[in-house]
Amino acid sequence: MDLVLNEEEQFIKKTAREFLEAACTTKLIRAMEDDPLGYPADLWGKIADLGWLGMALPEKHGGQGLPLSYLGLILEELGYAAAPVPFHCTMITALAISQFGNDNQSSEILPQVVKGDMILTWAIIEKNPRLLPETIKSKAEADGDSYIINGTKLFVESFNSSQKCLVACRTSQPSSSNEGISLFLVDTKTAGITEIPLINMAKEKQSKLVFNRVSVPKSNLVGKIDEGWPIIEQILDTGTALLCTQMVGSARKQVDLAIEYAKVREAFGKPIAAFQAIAHPCADMIIWVDGGQMLTYEALWRIDQGLPASVEVSQAKAFCNDKCLAVGHHSNIIHGGIAFMQEFDLNLWFRRTNAMTMKLGTSFEHRSRVAKALIDQPGYVRLGASMYELADSP
């Protein structure tokens, strides 16, 4: 048991902080909000050079094979910097391919990802945004050596800059043996895909995709036919834990901005930090972000250990959602009216943090998963003990 970051972890975090402080200015963030591509290619190249893209990917494909918790530290700093890069969507798709793709898929795609030459994304969510198999209605039907995809996907990130997209489709009706969902790697330039941009709060590239008779070679199936749902669950768990690190970083920046502002802004003849009505919300914000960070680290650490982690992931996301929204509110109040002004920087983090609270599961969805583990499993709960096999007695 050691919740203090070790030297290597501290070094990764510090290096990332320093690099991004210099490389990712608020000017760049603002420029990318209006940029058609949405990310700076040279920054992406530098990120590849630093080895971040290969950090958690297997060594045989050019990566470093390091734990996800290390990648989490990077994402936390990307969140802290509000870095406009398609890192999260590329990473969770690449991780899915490395874990569930076949050798051909991995050796074609992963080395390119590591070098920064390929951006990836994923398309699972549809009209009903809940992360459940029955919400997936896009269909893929076999046709000779291909599958033909028809359907609509929502909230797809950075599709405009991605070369490949991992798409979840229904291939059969659910049965006792599986959910009838399959995953396909789709070349983003394939004919029949219509991309409709979604104008969103974080001003990032997000799309609605309409698939109209999109043909995908059978060799692009990831995993086994009809057995994609357990893969999606893992993608979502890993993706959610990693998103939490980014959200924690982004919220932490809002806390730091509030603290900095409180110390320099004067009212009634003294810095407003001297007023407890300002100081105490700052204390709460620190406590909340620390809490979200520790829950998230625990979830990632469990995934790294190969331990079940779905409850810990949901604990982290539900807490981060609620508390990061509250951090935004407090930071706003401490800043006063200036926070609402576009040219003041706080909103860059405020909008992004808020957007992240809405992705990959709401607080209600995640608490419902936690409640299921707590209440519907037989036995007695005890803090610190397993959430997957409860005790026979209190």
Partner 1 sequence: MDFAFTHKQEKLGKDVREFIANNLTPGIREEMGGDGLEEGKRGPKVQELYKKIAERGWIGIVWPKKYGGQEGSRIDQYIVEEEFARVGLSVGGAGSGAPAIMAAGTDAQKEYFIPKLINGEIILALGFSEPRGGADLAALQCRAVRDGDEYVINGQKTFSTSAHHATHIYLMARTDPDAYRHKGISILLVPIDAPGITIRPMYTLQNNPKAPAGTTYATPQTNEVFLDNVRVPVSCLLGEENKGWYVGAMGLNLDRVGASRYLISVRRDEDIINWVKHNKLDEYAPAKDDAIRDRLAELWIEAQVSRLMTMRSMSMVERDMPFNYEGSAEKVWSPEHGIKTTEMVTQILGPYIQLMNGSEEAIEKGIFAHNLLASWVSANNHGGVQIMRDQVVRRGFGFPRGY
Q: Would you tell me which residues interact with partner 1 (CB under 8 A)?
A: 1-6, 9, 69, 259, 262-263, 270-271, 273-276, 279-280, 282-284, 286-287, 290-291, 294-295, 297-298, 301-302, 305, 315, 318-319, 364, 367-368, 370-371, 374-375, 380-384, 394
Comparison of 212 and 377: residue with beta carbon closer to partner 1: 377
Nearest to 74 by CA among 58, 43, 53: 53
| Cα separation, 11 vs 366, whole angstroms | 32
Q: Is 197 helix (H, G, I), strand (E, B) or coil?
A: strand
Comparison of 194 and 305: residue with beta carbon closer to partner 1: 305
| Cα separation, 321 vs 248, whole angstroms | 10
| Cα separation, 272 vs 265, whole angstroms | 6
> Considering the complex, what minimum distance in angstroms separates the CB of residue 297 from partner 1?
5
Angle at 293 between CA 292 and CA 298, to 5 degrees: 100
> Considering the complex, what minimum distance in angstroms separates the CB of residue 52 from partner 1?
19
Nearest to 235 by CA among 188, 166, 149: 166
Burial of residue 266 (CB within 10 Å: 0-12, 13-18, 19+) is: exposed
Comparison of 183 and 318: residue with beta carbon closer to partner 1: 318
**334 contacts 281 by C-beta, under 8 angstroms:** yes
| Cα separation, 325 vs 276, whole angstroms | 21
Burial of residue 90 (CB within 10 Å: 0-12, 13-18, 19+) is: buried
Q: Is 9 helix (H, G, I), strand (E, B) or coil?
A: helix
Comparison of 10 and 26: residue with beta carbon closer to partner 1: 10
| Cα separation, 59 vs 111, whole angstroms | 10
Angle at 124 between CA 55 and CA 122, to 5 degrees: 35
> Considering the complex, what minimum distance in angstroms separates the CB of residue 389 from partner 1?
14
Say which DSSP state 198 is in. -
| Cα separation, 87 vs 206, whole angstroms | 14
> Considering the complex, what minimum distance in angstroms separates the CB of residue 167 from partner 1?
32
Comparison of 235 and 278: residue with beta carbon closer to partner 1: 278
Comparison of 230 and 336: residue with beta carbon closer to partner 1: 336
| Cα separation, 106 vs 103, whole angstroms | 5
Comparison of 68 and 186: residue with beta carbon closer to partner 1: 68
Comparison of 226 and 312: residue with beta carbon closer to partner 1: 312
Comparison of 142 and 371: residue with beta carbon closer to partner 1: 371
